[in-house]
Amino acid sequence: MNTVKIGLLGLGTVGAGTAETLLKQRDLIRDRSGIDLVLARAADLNLDRDFGFSIPQEILTKDAMEVLQDPDIQIIVEMIGGTGIAKTFILEAFSQGKSVVTANKALLAEHGPELITAAQDAGVELFFEASVGGGIPIIKALREGLVANPIEEIHGILNGTCNYILTRMERDKVAFDAVLKEAQDLGYAEAEPSLDIDGWDTAHKAVILGQLAYGIPVTLEDVSVSGIRDISPVDVATAAELGYRIKLLAILTRSNGSVEVGVQPALIPEDHMLANVEMSFNAVLVKGSVVGETLYYGRGAGRLPTASAVVADIVDVARNLISGATDRIPLEWSPEKAPRLLPPAERVERSYLRLLLRDRPGTLGVVARVLGESGITITALLQKEDPLHKEFVPVVILTGNARVGDVVEAMGRLSALEDVGDEIVRYRVEELGA
Amino acid sequence: MNTVKIGLLGLGTVGAGTAETLLKQRDLIRDRSGIDLVLARAADLNLDRDFGFSIPQEILTKDAMEVLQDPDIQIIVEMIGGTGIAKTFILEAFSQGKSVVTANKALLAEHGPELITAAQDAGVELFFEASVGGGIPIIKALREGLVANPIEEIHGILNGTCNYILTRMERDKVAFDAVLKEAQDLGYAEAEPSLDIDGWDTAHKAVILGQLAYGIPVTLEDVSVSGIRDISPVDVATAAELGYRIKLLAILTRSNGSVEVGVQPALIPEDHMLANVEMSFNAVLVKGSVVGETLYYGRGAGRLPTASAVVADIVDVARNLISGATDRIPLEWSPEKAPRLLPPAERVERSYLRLLLRDRPGTLGVVARVLGESGITITALLQKEDPLHKEFVPVVILTGNARVGDVVEAMGRLSALEDVGDEIVRYRVEELGA
Determine the residue of chain A that is closest to B134 in CA distance: A291
pLDDT beyond 80 at A143 = yes
Identity of the residue in A144, A299, A334 whose CB atom sits nearest the CB atom of B292: A299
User: ipTM of the assembly?
Assistant: 0.96
For A331, name the nearest residue in chain B, comparing CA atoms only: B32
Task: Determine, yes or no, domain membership for A209.
Answer: yes
pLDDT tens per residue, range A307-352? 999 999 999 999 999 988 877 888 765 555 667 889 999 999 999 9
Supply the pLDDT for residue B332: 65
Q: What's the confidence (pLDDT) of residue B216? A: 83
Residue A123 belongs to domain with CATH number: 3.40.50.720
pLDDT at residue B251 in the model: 97
Whether residues B153 and B278 share a domain: the answer is: yes
Beta-bridged to residue B246, according to DSSP, are B267
Specify which residues B398 forms β-bridges with. Answer: B352, B380
Calculate how close chain A gets to B94, using CA atoms only, in Å: 20
- Measure the CA–CA gap between A92 and A122, rounded to whole angstroms: 11
Last residue of a domain, one of B299, B324, B358: B299
What's the rounded Cα separation, in Å, for the pair A351 and A429? 5
Q: Say if A197 falls within a structural domain.
A: yes
pLDDT at A434: 47
Nearest to A291 among B32, B298, B324 (CB): B298
Contact A31 B215 (CB under 8 A): yes
Look up the domain containing A95 and give its range. 2-131+303-331
Beta-ladder partners of A393: A357
B392-403: pLDDT as tens digits = 889 999 999 999
CA-CA distance, B240 to B233, in Å (whole number)?
Answer: 11
Q: Which residues of B touch A135 (CB under 8 A)?
A: 290-292, 294
Q: Which residue of A has its CA nearest to B212?
A: A32
* pLDDT at residue A315 in the model: 98
Choose the weakest-confidence range: A32-36, A103-107, A368-372, A380-384. A380-384
Q: pLDDT tens for residues A8-28? A: 999 999 999 999 999 999 999
Cα–Cα distance, A191 to A127 (Å, whole number)? 30
DSSP letter for A8, please: E
* Cross-chain Cβ contact A148/B215 below 8 Å: no
Residue pLDDT, tens place only, A165-198: 999 999 999 999 999 999 999 888 888 999 999 9
Looking at the structure, do residues A153 and A188 belong to the same domain, yes or no?
yes
A295 and A307 co-located in one domain: no
| Residues A122 and A56 placed together within one structural domain of the fold | yes
Torsion angle, CA of A189/A194/A197/A203, rounded to 10 degrees?
-120
Predicted local confidence at residue A170, as pLDDT: 96
B135-140: average pLDDT: 98
Cβ <8 Å between A294 and B294 = no
CA distance A367 to B388: 57
Say whether residue A1 is in contact with chain B using an 8 A CB cutoff.
no
| Stretch (H or E) spanning A53 | none
- Give the best residue of B4, B125, B142, B149 to mutate against chain A (max A CB count within 10 A): B149
Which residues of A are part of the catalytic machinery? 205
**Does residue B117 surpass a pLDDT of 70?**
yes
**Chain B residues 137-166 with CB within 8 Å of chain A:** 137, 140-141, 143-150
Co-location of A122 and A153 in the same domain: no
Collect all residues of chain A within an 8 Å Cβ-Cβ radius of residue B144: 137, 140, 312, 315-316
Interface of A with B in 288-307 (CB under 8 A): 288, 290-299, 302, 304-305, 307
Helices (H), B34-77: 64-68
Q: How many domains does chain A have?
A: 3
CA distances from A381 to A182, A368, A370, A400, A434 (A): 34, 10, 15, 12, 20
> What number of other Cβ atoms are within 10 A of residue A93's Cβ?
29
Domain membership flag for residue A336: no
| pLDDT the model gives residue A186 | 87
Instruction: Using CB atoms, pick whichever of B215, B290, B297 lies closest to residue A25.
Output: B290
* B75 and B318 Cβ atoms separated by less than 8 Å: yes
Q: Cβ distance B199 to B227 under 8 Å?
A: yes
Within 8 A of B33 by CB-CB distance, chain A residues are 147, 329-330
Q: How far apart are CA B100 and CA A233, in angstroms?
A: 56
Put simply, the answer to whether A290 touches B297 (Cβ < 8 Å) is no
Q: Which residue of B has its CA nearest to A150?
A: B28
B2 in reach of chain A (CB within 8 A): no
- Verify that B101 and B155 share a domain, yes or no: no
Is the separation of the CB atoms in B365 and B348 below 8 Å?
Answer: no
In this structure, the answer to whether residues A317 and A376 fall within a common structural domain is no
B52 touching A, CB under 8 A?
Answer: no
This prediction's pTM: 0.96
* Residues B145 and B282 reside in one and the same domain: yes
B53 inside 8 A of chain A by CB: no
Of B34, B294, B328, which is closest to A323 when you measure between CB atoms?
B328
**Do the strands B340-341 and B281-288 form a parallel or antiparallel pair, or are they unpaired?**
unpaired
Mutate to test the interface with B, among A149, A163, A332 (most CBs of B within 10 A): A149
Taking residues B312-340, report their average pLDDT.
81
Catalytic residue among B205, B287, B384, B390: B205
* Angle formed by the axes of helices B26-33 and B303-323, nearest 10°: 40
Flag whether pLDDT at B419 surpasses 80: yes
Q: B292, A305: Cβ pair inside 8 Å?
A: yes
Mean pLDDT of A255-281: 94
What tens digit of pLDDT does each residue of A282-313 get?
999 999 999 999 999 999 999 999 999 999 99
| B136–A129 C-beta distance less than 8 A | no
Q: Which of A293, A316, A328 sits opposite B144 (nearest CB)?
A: A316
Q: How far is B122 from chain A (nearest CA, A)?
A: 17
The whole-chain average pLDDT of chain A stands at 94
Three-state DSSP state, A157: strand
Cβ contact B269:B243 at 8 Å: yes
Candidates A1, A28, A327: best to mutate against B (most CBs of B within 10 A) is A28
Selection from B291, B287, B222, B288 nearest residue B258 by Cα:
B222
Task: Give CA–CA dist A348/B207, Å, rounded.
Answer: 47
Within a domain: A266: yes
User: Pairing state of beta strands B392-399 and B402-403?
Assistant: unpaired
Mean of pLDDT values over B264-279: 96
More confident residue, B383 or B203: B203
Alpha-carbon separation of residue B410 from B92, B289, B376, B427 (angstroms): 53, 35, 9, 15
- Among B32, B299, B303, B432, most A C-beta atoms within 10 A, so best to mutate, is B32
With CA atoms as reference, the chain B residue closest to A302 would be B291
What pLDDT does B359 receive?
A: 86
> Is residue B59 predicted with pLDDT exceeding 90?
yes
Indicate the pLDDT class of residue B9, thresholds 50, 70 and 90.
Answer: very high
pLDDT of residue A215: 84
Q: Which CA distances in Å does B122 have to B30, B91, B119, B323?
A: 28, 10, 5, 19
| Residue ranges of A 92-131 with Cβ closer than 8 A to chain B | 129
Task: Name the helix (H) or strand (E) containing B425.
Answer: strand B425-429
Closest chain A residue by Cα to residue B326: A323
B391 and B282 housed in the same domain? no
Residue of B302, B307, B315 lying closest to A147 (CB–CB): B315
B363 and B247 in a single domain? The answer is no
Kindly state the average pLDDT of the residues B340-363. 92
Q: Do the chains contact at A304 and B324, CB–CB below 8 Å?
A: no
Whether B338 is in a domain gets the answer no
How far apart CA B295 and CA A281 sit, in angstroms, is 11
Domain with residue B286: its CATH number is 3.30.360.10
Confirm whether B339 is domain-assigned.
no
CATH number at residue B353: 3.30.70.260
Output the average pLDDT for chain B.
Answer: 94
- In sequence order, the 6+-apart residues with CB closer than 8 A to the CB of A57 are none
C-beta atoms of A325 and B319 within 8 A? yes
pLDDT of residue B434: 47
**Residue A267 contacts B where some CB pair is shorter than 8 Å:** no
Q: How far apart are the first and last CA of chain A?
A: 52
B162 and B283 assigned to the same domain: yes
Minimum distance, in Å, between the CA of residue B58 and any CA atom of chain A: 24
**pLDDT beyond 70 at B333:** no
Please count the other Cβ atoms lying within 10 Å of the Cβ belonging to residue A187.
8
Rg, C-alpha atoms of chain A:
24
Name the residue among A21, A293, A334 with its Cβ closest to that of B298: A293
Q: What is the pLDDT of residue A216?
A: 83
In what order do the strands lie in the sheet containing B99-102?
B60-61, B35-43, B2-9, B73-78, B99-102, B126-127
* B434, part of any domain: no
Q: Determine, yes or no, domain membership for A434.
A: no
State whether B329 and A319 contact (CB < 8 Å). yes
Alpha-carbon span B82 to B315, nearest angstrom? 24
Q: What share of chain A has pLDDT > 70, as a percent?
A: 97
Q: Does the distance separating the beta carbons of B276 and A329 come in below 8 Å? A: no
For residues B211-217, give the mean pLDDT. Answer: 87
Interface of B with A in 318-377 (CB under 8 A): 319-320, 323-330, 333-334, 337
* pLDDT at residue number A311: 98
| Closest by Cβ to A324, choosing from B290, B294, B324 | B324
Phi, psi torsion values for B92, nearest 5 degrees: -65, -40
Quote the CA–CA distance of A213 and A143 in Å, as a whole number: 8
Which residue of A32, A157, A314 is the best one to mutate when testing the B interface, meaning the one whose CB has the most B CBs within 10 A? A32
Query: Are B235 and B284 within one domain?
Result: yes
